[in-house]
Structure 1
Amino acid sequence: MTFFSRYLIKSFFRLKKKKSRFNYREEIYKTAFQHKSYCKTNNNERLEFLGDAILCFVVSEYIYDENKTQKEGYLSKKRAVIVARKHLNMVGKRVINKELLKTKTETISDNIYGNALEALIGAIYIERGIKEVKQFIIDKIINSEFVDELINTDYKSNLQKIIQKNQNDIKYNLTNTKGPEHDKEFYVTLFIDNKQISRAKGRSLKEAEQNAAKKALKSVS
Structure 2
Amino acid sequence: MHRNLDQLQEQLGLRFRQKKLLQQAFTHSSYVNEHRMEKHEDNERLEFLGDAVLELTMSEYLYNLHKEYSEGELTKLRASIVCEPSLVHFAQALNFGDFVRLGKGEEMTGGRSRPALLADVFEAFIGALYLDQGLEAAKSFLRQFVFPLLDGAKKPQVQDYKTQLQEYVQQQNLGTLEYRIVQEKGPAHDREFVSEVFMDSQSVGMGTGRSKKEAEQNAACQALSKIRK
Whether the 8 Å CA contact 1:48–1:115 is kept in 2: the answer is yes
Whether the 8 Å CA contact 2:91–2:122 is kept in 1: the answer is yes
Give the aligned residue type for 2:11: S
Across the aligned residues of Structure 1 and Structure 2, the Cα RMSD in angstroms comes to 3.9
Distance in structure 2 (CA, Å) of the matches to 1:100 and 1:115: 13
Change (3 A) 1:30 1:203: farther
Change (3 A) 1:68 1:7: same
Give the aligned residue type for 1:94: A
Distance in structure 2 (CA, Å) of the matches to 1:203 and 1:36: 27
Give the aligned residue type for 2:90: V
Question: How big is each residue's C-alpha offset from its partner over 1:78-100, in whole Å with a ceiling of 9 and x where there is no partner?
Answer: 11111111100111111134331
Equivalent position to 1:30, from 17, 23, 35: 23
Give the aligned residue type for 1:5: D
Distance in structure 1 (CA, Å) of the matches to 2:220 and 2:161: 16
The residue number in structure 1 matching 2:196 is 172
Question: How big is each residue's C-alpha offset from its partner over 1:24-70, in whole Å with a ceiling of 9 and x where there is no partner?
Answer: 12221111011111115610000000000000000011111222222
Cα drift, residue 143 of structure 1: 2.8
Change (3 A) 1:137 1:33: same
2:133 equivalent to 1:151? no
Change (3 A) 1:102 1:61: same
Distance in structure 1 (CA, Å) of the matches to 2:136 and 2:192: 46
Distance in structure 2 (CA, Å) of the matches to 1:7 and 1:47: 18
Gaps of 5+ in 2: 34-39, 163-179, 208-215
Give the aligned residue type for 1:120: F
Cα drift, residue 136 of structure 1: 1.1
The residue number in structure 1 matching 2:51 is 52
Equivalent residue runs for 1:99-118 within 5 Å: 99-104=98-103, 105=106, 106-108=109-111, 109-118=114-123
Equivalent position to 2:131, from 119, 126, 136: 126
The residue number in structure 2 matching 1:138 is 143
Equivalent residue runs for 1:183-198 within 5 Å: none
2:85 equivalent to 1:92? no
Gaps of 5+ in 1: 16-21, 177-185, 191-198, 210-221
Report the count of equivalent residues: 178
1:151 aligned counterpart, secondary structure: coil
Cα drift, residue 175 of structure 1: 3.6
Cα drift, residue 75 of structure 1: 0.8
* TM-score, structure 2 as length reference: 0.63
